[in-house]
Structure 1
Amino acid sequence: MNRKERLSSCRLYGIVDTGYTAEHQLLSVTEKLLEGGLGILQLRAKNHGPEFIEQMGKQLAPLCRRHGCLFIINDYPEIALRTGADGVHLGQNDGALAPVRAMLGEDAIIGRSTHSPEQALGAFREQADYIGFGPLFPTGTKPGRPAIGLNDIASVQQQLPEGFPVFCIGGITGETLPFVLKAGAGRIVIVSWLLAQPDITGTVKALRKKLGEAS
């Protein structure tokens, strides 16, 4: 199964984020996420420089491979290439996707953060392999960015080809998840709430089951 086929089966997207996980715990927390059967994991280290991210990426990439999990680097296509990651996730202000595709190859996974239906369709036209859509609720992960709410989830998915991966993100917790799913979401990203759980592995398993993701 190639990377794109593996992506299409993912319903839960995990992020190991240095904003919520101490440096010395990154490996152990990643291990707990992977033991839950997570299918796609991103390394996000907004408060660190490229050298640290590359160093961590080189440790996390083989760990993810062993568990059969796709590994994504946030923001840095060059680091994704050098660490053997499966792809990169880019924000709205990170430039066009075409040069990144040329750098990483057709098989690489390229994701784009989107905050409106217009941006979502724009990312698809740029041939992103998936989008993050949000933030649905106010979140400390993206301070200052207004929440977009739940109203556009269903319509965005209707405007995109059936099966195109739209991962809803931003302030999703165990309490808000039922509302997100009721609004039409089929794929989600959970960051801070998941990383704060006493049983991360068990929570990943429960979330995957709730989302109908095959074991």
Structure 2
Amino acid sequence: MSLLNREIFWPPADELTEVAERIRGRLGEWPAASTQWRICLTPPEAHGASDLIVFTETHGADVERLLADGAAVLEAHGGRAVLRREDARFVLEGEWSDDWLAALAAFLDCDFEPHDALVLALAWRAGDENKPDAWPVDFDTFPRVGDLPAPPSVPFPSCPERLGLYPVLPSADWVARVLDLGVTTAQLRRKSTDAADLKREIEGAVNAGHKHQAQLFINDHWREAIAAGAYGVHLGQEDVQTADLEAIAQAGVRLGLSTHGYYEMLRALHFRPSYLALGAVFPTTTKVMPTAPQGLARLARYVRLLDGRVPLVAIGGVNGDVLRDVLATGIGSAALVRAVTEAPDTAAAVTALQLEFAQQC
């Protein structure tokens, strides 16, 4: 995991490299970085997709040309950092230490995506490497995501801190069957474009939820969920751009948001959701994921940062074989799909999964 004898800064910056090496040595073992990033303090003549070009003051560089050539560009000054990569734009605001560039190199070497590594670098404080646990865990040092619309005028209603077993199910019949087995949290993920089918299935699932006084969430279809009187809705990051969060909050419907790393967590928290889903923890075949699997080590870090601030749900590739390890991170809920819907004996599977949660308490 050594950063020495590698070109991690351009132009070569021995002092920065030494600090980055010292920080990296205190962060623990992480998988080898899939991209060996080079942090460029001035634009090199030859640059490409593994170059992160940093400007720490006003400049006249042709940023659009650099982006067109495949480089990532970071403009950080005046308490505001704007990272651009291809068509994506990430904005963070706050204060940061003098060591933030060295910390950025260290977190990139831990194989975090540049926007997540940047969050951690801006949260880093000089002297953190001398702590027993050098990882940034003080939420107050973390930056804020900028350029976001205002959150709803009323907060989303709360839900239990530990939602427990959280099956994600394809139909109202499945919801009713699982709730009959004693499950208290579930989600209807209905993959349909037929309006009549959606109305029927959502209403059926919501009625089952009311019958059992369960926490029943509807995936994506927030209008139909409001109309049916659902307990909650679950949305992806991309849905935040299009869904009427004010209408959802005013209807008294709870909101769960999917996240895939530090930046998306901070972005989601801005909207004051009822819970955050963290994933995908493991590879999953139930949907196409925008990011690589997070793994248990990252999940444990996320839980340590956010536990007690908002209810958390592990999601993505979780099944009975790994559930105990997932719960060992301290997370209070895990969403499962095939471990329930493809089990030879649904009742036996639910009992076994519920037992894992009971043993956690």
TM-score normalised by structure 1 residue count: 0.83
Contact preservation (8 Å) 2:167, 2:185: yes
- 2:355 paired residue number: 209
Alpha-carbon deviations, 1:72-112, whole Å to 9, x = none?
Answer: 11112111111111121110101259942434427321011
- 2:281 paired residue number: 136
- 1:125 paired residue number: 270
Q: Which one of the candidate residues 315, 328, 333 is aligned to 1:182?
A: 328
Contact preservation (8 Å) 1:61, 1:84: yes
Cα distance in 2 between the residues matched to 1:104 and 1:81: 10
Alpha-carbon deviations, 1:132-153, whole Å to 9, x = none?
Answer: 1111111111235421211221
Cα distance in 2 between the residues matched to 1:171 and 1:181: 14
Deviation at 1:6, TM superposition (A): 5.0
Structure 1: 4+ residue segments shifted above 4 A: 3-6
Q: Which amino acid aligns with 1:128?
A: P
- Count of residues in Structure 1 that have an aligned counterpart in Structure 2: 204
Q: How does 1:35-54 map to 2 (within 5 A)?
A: 35-54=180-199
Q: Which has the higher contact order (CA 8 A, sep 6+)?
A: 1
Cα distance in 2 between the residues matched to 1:165 and 1:48: 31
Contact preservation (8 Å) 2:159, 2:254: no
- 2:175 paired residue number: 30
Deviation at 1:128, TM superposition (A): 0.9
Q: Which one of the candidate residues 306, 331, 353 is aligned to 1:160?
A: 306
For the structure 1 residues 97 and 151, does the alpha-carbon distance in structure 2 shift closer, same or farther, using more than 3 Å as the test?
farther
SS state at 1:206 partner: helix
- 1:112 paired residue number: 257
Alpha-carbon deviations, 1:154-184, whole Å to 9, x = none?
Answer: 2212222516211101111111222222344
SS state at 2:276 partner: strand
TM-score normalised by structure 2 residue count: 0.51
RMSD: 2.6
- 1:23 paired residue number: none
Deviation at 1:71, TM superposition (A): 1.7
SS state at 2:285 partner: coil
Contact preservation (8 Å) 1:75, 1:89: yes
Q: Does 1:14 pair with 2:164?
A: no
Contact preservation (8 Å) 2:172, 2:202: no
Any gaps of 5 or more consecutive residues in structure 2? 1-155
